Amino acid sequence: MKVNACKECKRLTELDVCESCKGKTTQNWIGFVAIADPETSDVAKKMGIKLKGKYALKVR
Ligand SMILES: [Zn+2]
């Protein structure tokens, strides 16, 4: 199964277009973090994440 990461918000998705911000996605990404609750997650705040889900740490 291929997994893409959004170039804009880094959200992981199987789609070619991000369902969150409609940005383009790429398979060139490294590592990921799962955000369960963006309200209380320091990582989510640092990365500007507002929706729960899985996000790539680095997207090229
Ligand atoms: Zn996005």
Instruction: Tell me how far the alpha carbon of residue 21 lies from the centroid of ligand 1, in angstroms.
Output: 4
pTM of the model: 0.88
Instruction: Tell me how far the alpha carbon of residue 34 lies from the centroid of ligand 1, in angstroms.
Output: 15
Q: What confidence tier does 41 reach under pLDDT thresholds 50, 70, 90?
A: very high
Instruction: Tell me how far the alpha carbon of residue 38 lies from the centroid of ligand 1, in angstroms.
Output: 15
What is the pLDDT, as a whole number, of residue 35?
A: 97
> Following DSSP, what letter does each residue of the chain receive, concatenated?
---EEETTT-BEESSSB-TTT--BEES-EEEEEEES-TTT-HHHHHHT--S-EEEEEEE-
Q: How many domains does the chain have?
A: 1
Q: In the predicted model, what is the mean pLDDT of residues 17-37? A: 96
What is the pLDDT, as a whole number, of residue 1?
A: 73
CATH of the domain at 9: 2.20.28.90
Mean pLDDT of the chain: 95
Q: In the predicted model, what is the mean pLDDT of residues 21-46? A: 96
Expressed as residue numbers, the domain containing 52 is 4-59
Whether residue 37 has pLDDT greater than 90: yes
Instruction: Tell me how far the alpha carbon of residue 46 lies from the centroid of ligand 1, in angstroms.
Output: 16
Instruction: Tell me how far the alpha carbon of residue 17 lies from the centroid of ligand 1, in angstroms.
Output: 8
